[in-house]
Amino acid sequence: MPPAATSGRYSNLCYDSSTMPTAAVPTDLQPYFEKGIQAYTQGSYEYAADLFTFVVTHAPDATEARRYLRLAIQKHGHQHPPSALSQAGIALLTLPVRWWAILAQLGGNLRQAISLYEWLLRLSPRSRSLLMRLALTLTHSGLDDAAQQTYEELLAVDPNHLGALRKFARLAMKRGQDAQARRCFERVLHLHAGDLEAQQSLRNLDALGTIKKGFAT
């Protein structure tokens, strides 16, 4: 059994990470995932990140590998924290790659866009804009498990990100995860009182709950 992929930073948000779907790693990629787990457990976070990156590149919806990838990157960053100057340099040097990823996304080359965003996130793992773009691209690719997990990661960085809250709530409603959707829309209303979409969605959830109770009795 791999160690629990949690970091204690997912509390008090609109989602419950214990109910998040976990897509299995394909059999042919399982050896790379297991080697990544071993490297992660031994503290070789950079090597672990390389292995998990290989897995998610070939299986973008392998959410457990994606979660470990993020954790390995974070732990490596804690071991070797970049200076403010190096962060500024990375942002400048990777600007062409960001545009390349955006163009790939807009042009419908979603697999390439996902790979580029993943690469960029290894350099800037807490980038709100990159996490948001990756989540949107995953959604457009039909990879809802991975998209939902990426919104989770973004909300862990910024619990008040309205765009991520809305997208997460819509995706949760689509997937029948009414409790998560409700918490997200309530959070939106707390941050932006009078939000019409959140108000209407909560009314819809109330009506849906009433219908479900009727069927249950």
pLDDT, tens only, 159-168: 999 999 999 9
Asked if 105 and 164 sit in the same domain, the reply is no
Q: Is residue 150 part of a domain?
A: no
Q: Is residue 151 part of a domain?
A: no
Asked if 176 and 209 sit in the same domain, the reply is yes
Q: What is the pLDDT of residues 131-182, one digit of tens each?
A: 999 999 999 999 999 999 999 999 999 999 999 999 999 999 999 999 999 9
Asked if 52 and 123 sit in the same domain, the reply is yes
Q: Is residue 8 part of a domain?
A: no
* Residue among 133, 107, 110 at smallest CA distance from 121: 133
Q: Is residue 10 part of a domain?
A: no
Asked if 67 and 22 sit in the same domain, the reply is yes
Residue 72 domain boundaries? 17-142
Q: What is the pLDDT of residues 45-101, one digit of tens each?
A: 999 999 999 999 899 888 899 989 989 998 888 776 666 767 777 778 889 999 999
Residue listed under structure tokens 């697999």: 111
**pTM (predicted TM-score):** 0.79
pLDDT band at 9 (very low <50, low <70, confident <90, very high): very low
Whole-number Å distance between alpha carbons of 94 and 1:
37
Q: What is the DSSP string of 177-198?
A: -HHHHHHHHHHHHHHSTT-HHH
Asked if 53 and 124 sit in the same domain, the reply is yes
Instruction: Give the per-residue pLDDT at 1.
Output: 56
